[in-house]
Amino acid sequence: MCMPDVSFQSQPSLTPSQIADLRLAASKLTGPKRRAFEAEMTLKYCAGNPLKAEAVFGWGRHTVALGLAEKRSGIVCVGSQSAFSGRKRWEETHPQAAQSLRQLADAHAQPDPTFRTRLTYTRLTAQSALQALREQGYGEEELPSPSTMAEVLHRLGYRLRKVVKAKPQKKMKETEAIFDNIKKKMKPPSRQQE
């Protein structure tokens, strides 16, 4: 494949160190963010020419052209690989079990004590949720592992929190004074009276 001659006269002077920094920055990004970055740098340093960006920075000219088109149109291209790949969530693959879990968690839920947030806390643990779903007739093949069940509860909006037991009262000056007064009044009789 023959590449057309690209003139570098109109290019702003970039040092090899600056070019290496821009390549490194682009390598840390992925997908649309990377294409947007490469398009911005192409517009800034290569007058919007993808072929020139390929020669200067070593980026693929098709990727840069796609980034420029995304920038121009405002529409981000999503490939079929990223759009349709990946494993579905447990709630999507088992909707009936997920509905039963929601009902179970709602029964054990309580709102945030401060009422500052919409979070709902539950005393239901992942293990007890799994056990309750087993008792409702769901088989082991339908139920996730305990760690996944904790994530599912979190995604459904239930935050797992340990139940706080009664805390001992802190010592205060007033209570210390009361106990000192009681100790003075309850002194044992002295031996001189015998």
User: Per-residue pLDDT tens for 54-91?
Assistant: 999 999 999 999 999 999 999 988 777 766 778 888 99
The residues pairing with 122 across neighbouring beta strands, listed in sequence order, are 109, 160
Residues 95 and 51 in one domain: no
CB atoms within 10 A of CB 133: 21
Residues 153 and 97 in one domain: yes
CA distance 140 to 98: 14
Domain count, the chain: 2
Are the C-beta atoms of residues 108 and 163 closer than 8 Å to each other? no
> Is 10 strand, coil or helix?
coil
Q: What is the pLDDT of residues 155-168, one digit of tens each?
A: 887 776 654 555 55
Widest CA span in the chain: 121
Would you say residue 170 lies in a domain? no
Would you say residue 59 lies in a domain? yes
Residues 64 and 114 in one domain: no
Would you say residue 147 lies in a domain? yes
Length of the chain: 194
Residues 73 and 117 in one domain: no
Q: Tell me which residue of 155, 158, 164 sits closest to 128, measured CA to CA.
A: 158
pLDDT of the chain, 194 residues: tens digit per residue: 444 444 544 455 789 999 999 999 999 998 899 999 999 999 999 999 999 999 999 999 999 999 999 999 999 887 777 667 788 889 999 999 999 998 988 887 777 666 666 656 677 888 989 999 999 999 998 999 999 998 998 888 777 665 455 555 666 667 777 777 777 877 666 665 54
Range of the domain at 115: 90-160
Residues 98 and 39 in one domain: no
Cβ-proximal residues to 180 (8 Å cutoff; 6+ apart), any chain: none
CA distance 181 to 7: 95
Q: Tell me which residue of 161, 64, 53 sits closest to 105, measured CA to CA.
A: 161
> Is 110 strand, coil or helix?
strand
Would you say residue 187 lies in a domain? no
Cβ-proximal residues to 2 (8 Å cutoff; 6+ apart), any chain: none
Would you say residue 169 lies in a domain? no
Would you say residue 171 lies in a domain? no
Residues 99 and 71 in one domain: no
Of 27, 53, 77, which residue sits at a domain end? 77
Residues 65 and 99 in one domain: no
Would you say residue 193 lies in a domain? no
Residues 68 and 116 in one domain: no
Of 38, 53, 77, which residue sits at a domain end? 77
CB atoms within 10 A of CB 125: 16
